[in-house]
Structure 1
Amino acid sequence: MLQVQDISVHYGMIQAVHGVSFEVKQGEIVSLIGANGAGKTTILRTISGLVRPSSGHILFEGKNIEKEAPQKIVASGLSQVPEGRHVFSGLTVQENLEMGAFLRKDSGVKEDYEQIFKKFPILKERRSQDASTLSGGEQQMLAMGRALMSKPKLLLLDEPSMGLAPIFIKEIFSIIQEIQAQGTTVLLIEQNAKMALSIANRGYVLETGKIVLEGTGQELLSSEAVKKAYLGG
């Protein structure tokens, strides 16, 4: 579904990503793990069209997208939940969800609101509340619901557990598995390596802008190098 081919990314003179290649197959959860500054968020932003690669190619369902505008990438079926959630303050929960459906032209939007409220019952309770007044966990659910309202084929998640209480982290990861089970492919970037790899079909380990390890989620969980670097082993 997604092929990232030898992409490099620069911020001015600084190279943040060095010839990274990986793929995401339809129906998978794929996790990218790595320390802060490893290039994880830059890679997601490049896939989403928010950052342009210096070189390399990105193919989504066989079509090159590295030069496409972000809104065209969303319209093609690829949606991102950004790090830090970034809900629209001053808009209600319902209005935030409406923003997620902005590009849709089909007639199934109303039914999809109900699906989101079924998946995230707390959002239904708070549908008329200003999004900025939600807790961190509730904002994360809203950001995920907003992205799902665009009906993505591939959902990009950037650090969904960041800053959340353990009870919310467990719930968020359970919802990610539910999203996959309902047919959406997931590319997950996450510092909580144990949680990310435990639900991943496959994973890649990034260090200083390069992929240094890859394997199934279980293979990486069992790797002595991963245990030592990311799992406290």
Structure 2
Amino acid sequence: MLQVKDLSISYGAIQAVRHVDFEVKKGEIVTLIGANGAGKSTILKTISGIVKPQSGSIEYQNESLVGKKAPQIVAAGVSQVPEGRHVFPAMTVMENLQLGSYLQKDRSQIEARLQEIYQMFPILKERQHQDAATLSGGEQQMLVMARAMMAHPDLLLLDEPSMGLAPIYIQKVFDIIQKINAQGTTILLIEQNAHQALSIADRGYVIASGEIQLTGSGEKLLNDPQVKRAYLGESA
């Protein structure tokens, strides 16, 4: 579904990503793990059309995404949930969700999708008329995920969905990720919580200093001595 080949990305003189190769197959949950500053978020922003690559290729459904604008990429079936729970304040939960379907013109289809989202995220239906800025951190994370799902993505990019959340919401978020995947959406996940990410991932890639260092199934990486020491806080 998604193939990234020889991808390099620079911010001025700083080389953020170096010759990265990875793929995401239809129906998978694939995770990129690594320390802060490893280049993970930069890769997602480049896939989404927010950052331009220095070199390399990004192909989605056998079509190049390089050079496409973000709305074109969303229209192709790729949605991103950014790091930091960027809800639109002074707007209700429902209004935030409706913004997620801005490319859809048929009001009846928007309403039908909204009801589907409410079934997936019942707390958002309870809060639909509430100012999004007044939600708890966990509820805001559910809202930004739900807003991205309003676009009917085939591929969902998730950037640090559990960051800053209370433990009870961390588990809820990972449960929702698995539920979204089970309903047919392919997921590329960036996550500081390496143990949780690898526990639900079909495959993972470990990134350090902008380069892929290790790859394997989620289970394999969970049991890799190097991963245990560096990212799981465990001894080999």
TM-score (norm 1): 0.99
Distance in 2 of aligned mates of 1:56 and 1:117:
39
Residue 197 of structure 2 aligns with which residue?
A: 196
Residue 179 of structure 1 aligns with which residue?
A: 180
Residue 31 of structure 2 aligns with which residue?
A: 31
Matches within 5 A, 1:91-130: 91-106=91-106, 107-130=108-131
Distance in 1 of aligned mates of 2:35 and 2:105:
40
For 2:192, what is the secondary structure of its paired residue?
A: coil
Displacement after TM superposition at 1:115 (Å): 1.4
For 2:46, what is the secondary structure of its paired residue?
A: helix
Residue 18 of structure 1 pairs with residue 2 of structure 2: no
Distance in 2 of aligned mates of 1:115 and 1:37:
37
Residue 131 of structure 1 aligns with which residue?
A: 132
Matches within 5 A, 1:195-214: 195-214=196-215
Tell me the C-alpha RMSD between the 2 structures. 0.7
Distance in 2 of aligned mates of 1:49 and 1:6:
17
Matches within 5 A, 1:216-227: 216-227=217-228
Distance in 1 of aligned mates of 2:155 and 2:104:
16
Letter in 2 for 1:34: G
Residue 82 of structure 1 pairs with residue 82 of structure 2: yes
Deviations 1:91-116 (A, max 9, x none): 11000000000102454221211111
Distance in 2 of aligned mates of 1:33 and 1:23:
15
Stretches of structure 2 lacking an aligned partner (at least 5 in a row): none
Matches within 5 A, 1:50-61: 50-61=50-61
Distance in 1 of aligned mates of 2:132 and 2:75:
24
Distance in 1 of aligned mates of 2:109 and 2:99:
15
TM-score (norm 2): 0.97
Stretches of structure 1 lacking an aligned partner (at least 5 in a row): none
Residue 67 of structure 1 aligns with which residue?
A: 67
Distance in 1 of aligned mates of 2:174 and 2:112:
24
Moved more, 160-169 or 114-123: 114-123
